[in-house]
Amino acid sequence: MKKTVVTVVGKDSVGIIAKVCTYLANNSVNILDISQTIVDGFFNMMMIVDVAVCSKDFETFSHELEQIGGEMNCIIKAQREDIFDSMHRL
């Protein structure tokens, strides 16, 4: 398993989750956890996904998610989970 955190930040609009999930499914990326909240009026979503069998390399995967974000006026980032684990877990 190779865990990656996908975050979506932006103005809430119809179909954001659907579009991201469709992209993930099309690329064999399994969603392990999903949560969302509103901070300062902005939509914040976080998904923990498994990219072990993802059909794209990490750079392409992260770049394409960024592009999808651009189309929906939000920022989508993919980051390896290790950075969050390192910072917040002993």
Does residue 81 contact residue 3 with C-beta atoms inside 8 Å? yes
CA–CA dist 74, 85 (Å, integer): 25
For residue 71, state whether it binds another protein (rule: CB under 8 A).
no
Helix/strand/coil for 66: helix
Least spacing, CB of residue 38 vs another protein, in Å:
11
| Binding segment (CB under 8 A) for another protein, from list 14-22, 23-31, 45-53 | 45-53
Element (H, E) at 47: strand 42-50
| Binding segment (CB under 8 A) for another protein, from list 11-19, 23-31, 34-42 | 34-42
Residues that bind another protein (CB under 8 A): 5, 7, 32-33, 35-37, 39, 44-46, 48, 58-59, 62, 77-89
